[in-house]
Amino acid sequence: MQPSAAMREYLAEIYRLQEGSPTVSTTSLAERLNVSAPAVPRMLKRLKSAGYVKHVPYQGVELTERGRIEALKEIRRHRILEVFLVNIMGFSWDETHEHAEEMGKGLNDAISQRMAEMTQFPLRCPHGEPIPDELGHLPDLNDISIINLGVGYKGVVSRVRTDDPEKLRYFASLGLVPGASFEIVGRAPFNGPMRLKVNQEEVVLGINLTESLWVAPVN
């Protein structure tokens, strides 16, 4: 059976949460989806019956391979919609996630494909996240959070991994957007603030910002 819009939303969120943890708890799902705690087990039961998730005793749930593919298809729709909102409708990158969350609930494959055509089949969303292909496959990535790097590293911003509008606006004001070149010129010990040179100017980022900034080496 094809998953409903609600099921697709759960699968995509489980996938996002699994990027930071092998399994996902009902509590974390309820918080991220802004639903009541009793609603989550009911949906997980449906997803398990359909073969999209499996339960890991005393830990939570994780996607099956079938569930992972459906999750990535939903993430594809979401990210294409974000590109459409920016490139065609003129929204800024800090506005797209919330609008895409609402509009995506009624988005089918035909409309998503037309949006992809109108935006020249984008490979990444406005925040730099890769867009899965139509079969739910992601390209290999060669980037890392800047928090793991030291002074002297030169690279380009590949992804800005936050949905927080205020943080996105701040990153944009510093010129730290996907494709921007930078150099780490200073770093305080114990995960202290980091100084970067961006467009010949120095900027300072605290740990709550550096963990969201993913970068790749200069080609």
| Residue 114 in domain | no
The answer, as to whether pTM is greater than 0.85, is yes
pLDDT digits (tens, 9 = 90+) for 65-83: 999 999 999 999 999 999 9
Is the model more confident about 210 or about 135?
Answer: 210
- Please state the rounded mean pLDDT for residues 61-68: 95
178 close to 157: Cβ distance less than 8 angstroms? yes
pLDDT digits (tens, 9 = 90+) for 79-95: 999 999 999 999 999 99
Confidence band of 21 (pLDDT split at 50, 70, 90): confident
| Residue 56 in domain | yes
**How confident is the model at residue 106, as a pLDDT?**
75
CATH number at residue 24: 1.10.10.10
Task: Please check the confidence at residue 48 and state whether its pLDDT lies above 70.
Answer: yes
| Residue 151 in domain | yes
| Residue 93 in domain | no
**How confident is the model at residue 50, as a pLDDT?**
95
Token pair of 104, please?
């995506």
Q: How many domains does the chain have?
A: 2
**How confident is the model at residue 5, as a pLDDT?**
87
| Residue 130 in domain | no
- Please state the rounded mean pLDDT for residues 1-10: 87
How many CB atoms are closer than 10 A to CB 90?
A: 8
| Residue 200 in domain | yes
CA dihedral defined by 211, 213, 62, 66, rounded to 10 degrees? -170
Average pLDDT, the chain: 92
Task: Please check the confidence at residue 212 and state whether its pLDDT lies above 90.
Answer: yes
Domain ranges, residue 12: 5-67
- Please state the rounded mean pLDDT for residues 185-201: 92
Strand ranges inside the chain, DSSP E: 53-56, 60-63, 144-145, 154-160, 181-187, 194-198, 201-205, 213-217
Token pair of 1, please?
């059976």
Helix 5-18 with 26-33: angle, nearest 10 deg: 120
Terminal-to-terminal C-alpha distance of the chain: 44
Residues of the chain above pLDDT 70, percent: 99
Confidence band of 37 (pLDDT split at 50, 70, 90): confident
How many CB atoms are closer than 10 A to CB 140?
A: 5
Choose one of 50, 67, 84: the last residue of a domain: 67
**How confident is the model at residue 104, as a pLDDT?**
84
Helix 39-49 with 5-18: angle, nearest 10 deg: 100
- CA nearest 108: which of 130, 137, 77? 77
- CA nearest 66: which of 28, 130, 14? 14
Confidence band of 54 (pLDDT split at 50, 70, 90): very high
| Residue 113 in domain | no
CATH number at residue 193: 2.30.30.90
pLDDT digits (tens, 9 = 90+) for 139-171: 888 899 999 999 999 999 999 999 999 999 999
| Residue 139 in domain | no
Choose one of 52, 67, 82: the last residue of a domain: 67
How many CB atoms are closer than 10 A to CB 112?
A: 21
